[in-house]
Amino acid sequence: MKIITYNVNGIRSAIDKGFINWLKASNPDVLCLQEIKANIDQIDINVFEALGYTSYWHSAQKKGYSGVAIFTKLKPKHVEIGCGIDKYDVEGRAIRIDFEDVSVLNVYMPSGSSGEERQAFKYEWMDDFYTYTDALIKQIPNLIVVGDYNICHQPIDIHNPKSNAKSSGFLPEEREWLSKFMGLGLIDTFRHHNPEPHHYTWWSYRAGARKKNLGWRIDYQMATLPLESRLLRTAILSDAIHSDHCPVLLEIA
């Protein structure tokens, strides 16, 4: 199975930048999108259906904001829209798709970069999502939690850890939480295969950051321990330029 996660920062904008041709060439079995910023009736879904995809959407109630979607060529046995917590579900932050032997949970975790109020909301999410995932793993042992976590885990995951030590997304409390989250029995699949530095998934639009590769690795595919022997390959697809993020690919047996 070939799974790609991608924060597209607006699916309509991404489509205008050649997203459909990229998708056709990449041909994942399962595509998980974050920050779609649209409802399904605002795009031509027939284009995706022509490529063999069925899509499931969890858009935010607020127009042009947040939202997640899953496109799949494989028939699921169940799709779970939302996480059952209203304050997150109104923002379209989670959607899960269950297949016979693996489930994929697609999440768009909150950012705290806009100020103290949203940082506090992010901390609430972190506590609640930890509890939610802990229970889910007990129910679904073969689980992959993909998406934009809005957290860099280690200094290797950010271009300038010293100057960003007090930046939302690299705060000590956030990094400690991510370690705790992985302690539920989750493998950072990219680091499982790639220990080298200078691999990022998000770049600021300012000061030519992407061209200079001054980025952050905040998009993940975390897999539970029972899936470890099935992890074939993980790659950051930094040549895809439809967003300020880039896709992350995971192949499992």
Question: What are the φ and ψ backbone dihedral angles of 46, each rounded to 5 degrees?
Answer: -60, -30
Concatenated DSSP letters of the chain: -EEEEEE-S-HHHHHHTTHHHHHHHH--SEEEEE---S-GGGS-HHHHHHTT-EEEEE--SSTTS--EEEEESSPPSEEEES-S-HHHHTTT-EEEEE-SS-EEEEEEPPP-TT-HHHHHHHHHHHHHHHHHHHHHHHH-SSEEEEEE-----SGGGBS-TTTTTTSTTS-HHHHHHHHHHHTTTEEEHHHHH---S---SEE-SGGGTTTTT-EE--EEEEEEGGGGGGEEEEEE-TT--SSSB--EEEEE-
- Which residue(s) pair with 27 in the sheet? none
Spatial distance between the Cα atoms of 31 and 6, rounded to a whole number of angstroms: 8
Question: Is 86 assigned a catalytic role?
Answer: no
Query: Which of the residues 148, 157, 188, 219 is marked catalytic?
Result: 148
Spatial distance between the Cα atoms of 2 and 233, rounded to a whole number of angstroms: 9
Locate 20 and state its tokens: 């459909």
Locate 74 and state its tokens: 């494989």
Cα end-to-end distance, the chain, whole Å: 6
Question: What positions carry a catalytic annotation?
Answer: 148
